[in-house]
Amino acid sequence: MKPHSTSPNNHANQSQVAETFLSQLSPLLLLTSIFFVNFISRIVLAPLMPRVKIDLSLNHAEAGSLFFLISLGYFTTLLASGFVSSRLTHRRTIIFSSIAVGLALFITSFSTGLWGMRLGLFALGMASGPYMPSGLATLTTLFKYRHWGKALAIHELAPNLSFVLAPLVAEVVLYWFSWRTVFMVLGFAALVLAVVFARFGRGGDFHGESFKYSSIRQIISNPAFWIMVGLFSLGISSTLGIYTMLPLYLVTDHGMDRNWANTLIALSRIAGVGMALAGGWATDRFGPKLILRIVFVLTGMLTVFIGLASPTWVAAAVFVQPIMAVCFFPAGFAALSMVSSAGERNLTVSLAIPMAFLIGGGAAPALIGFIGEVHSFGWGIAMVGGLIMTGTIYSGFIKLHDQSRE
């Protein structure tokens, strides 16, 4: 009789856990939607660039400077996001950022020259920056620790979907309208989401940690923080860093048609959407440290495979590598949230992500390009793949706090 009596209790407990997660699914999806518009707004210029270059009469250097200005604006306010959230609360920071993104997109859409475009895109980068720390701080308070992996995996659908949908959205809009309409549509979406979140959004009704010397000293004195900066640098290099150089590599080293290369890269990101969810489930089930070690060694090997593959196998390598690479982020953000206290969590993200983005999204492509100049892009990608594999070693050294007691 005893086993029979405990079984209903177990089912009741499981049901209660499921209902707890599902009850917060709507605010999670709303945060994910805001993150989606925030992210796609910063990368949609890439598929639009051929048309933008013609309309604004840009040369290659001027076109490249536009992407740099987006990143520069993003880094600036991401680093300063603690000042904003410490005064506005995380909830108001999310609303403020979304409104600012919408306005910056409209400014960009009306640009008629190079300097107007530069101003609009720099403003777009600055407007996007404050969201990430406040969004993560809000998300991790909506769910108990045992649900963080699943929640973060859903949140990470935003960038994964952006990589797939940005070229499609651009092409659909360009079929009937100009590139300016893309920015207008995204700007309108950002403003609508700001209003919806202000009315229906949950969580974030607390102040963030500002950049105080004592807080910064405590965070940067923690070796686990610097390990996480390194791991995120490798994780970003395996996704965004490789993504930015793949078209040039496929066209230059393998002689692919540019349209087919871009189509192949877009299609390769579709499976990653589902794998991000699987990575979140695995993080909850096995813990972030184990998942990080597995992801780094497999992703590194697959990245090396991309760089050294023959023309016969390179398409398969391009498809498989991002499927594993995207699994880093649910485990990575879960681990990053566990190297500091809840009050310092947004500050930890604000310090770690800009540095990791500069290395993984900036230095890694530069390294690939440099090696491509002196030898070949393939060897550059393979070298980055070798560096990514070292992440499995460093993952074993991070010490994570027990968040189940918070």
Instruction: Quickly list DSSP for 92-140.
Output: HHHHHHHHHHHHHHHHHHT--SHHHHHHHHHHHHHHHTTHHHHHHHHHH
Cβ neighbors of 247 (< 8 A, separation 6 or more) are: 258, 261, 262, 265
Instruction: State both tokens at 405.
Output: 């007691």
Residue 113, Cβ density class (10 Å: 0-12 exposed, 13-18 middle, ≥19 buried) = exposed
CATH number of 209-406: 1.20.1250.20
Instruction: State both tokens at 143.
Output: 């769910």
Determine the residue type at 325.
A
Q: Answer whether 264's CB lies under 8 Å from 315's CB.
A: yes
How far apart are the C-alpha atoms of 406 and 46, rounded to whole Å?
42
How far apart are the C-alpha atoms of 326 and 334, rounded to whole Å?
14
Q: Answer whether 160's CB lies under 8 Å from 269's CB.
A: yes
Determine the residue type at 277.
L
Residue 313 is classified by DSSP as T
How far apart are the C-alpha atoms of 107 and 167, rounded to whole Å?
22
In the block, tokens 């707890």 appear at: 20
| Residues shown for the chain | 406
How far apart are the C-alpha atoms of 208 and 140, rounded to whole Å?
13
CA dihedral 140→143→148→150, nearest 10 degrees, is: -130
* Domain boundaries defined on the chain: 19-208, 209-406
pLDDT score at 6: 40
Q: Answer whether 314's CB lies under 8 Å from 306's CB.
A: yes
For domain 19-208, which CATH number applies: 3.40.50.300, 3.40.1110.10, 1.20.1250.20, 3.40.190.100? 1.20.1250.20
CA dihedral 310→165→38→327, nearest 10 degrees, is: -50
Going residue by residue through the chain, which has 406 residues, state the pLDDT in tens, using 9 for 90 and above: 334 444 444 443 433 344 465 666 777 888 889 999 999 998 787 777 667 777 887 765 566 567 777 777 887 887 777 677 667 787 888 888 999 999 999 999 888 888 888 899 899 989 988 888 788 788 877 776 666 667 777 887 888 788 888 777 877 787 788 888 999 999 999 999 999 988 887 776 676 666 666 777 777 778 888 988 999 999 988 987 787 777 667 877 888 775 777 778 788 888 776 776 777 778 778 888 888 898 999 999 999 999 998 888 888 888 889 888 888 888 887 888 777 666 666 677 777 887 887 788 767 777 777 787 778 778 888 999 999 999 999 888 777 665 444 4
In the block, tokens 């953000």 appear at: 333
Instruction: State both tokens at 46.
Output: 């890439």
Sign of the torsion formed by the C-alpha atoms of 371, 377, 378 and 384: positive
Q: b/e string for 1-30 if b means 16 or more Cβ within 10 A?
A: eeeeeeeeeeeeeeeeeeeebeebeebbeb
Q: DSSP for 365-393?
A: HHHHHHHHHHT-HHHHHHHHHHHHHTHHH
Q: What are phi and psi of 143, to 5 degrees?
A: -125, 150
Residue 216 to residues 44, 141, 225, 335, 344: CA-CA distances in angstroms?
34, 22, 11, 19, 9
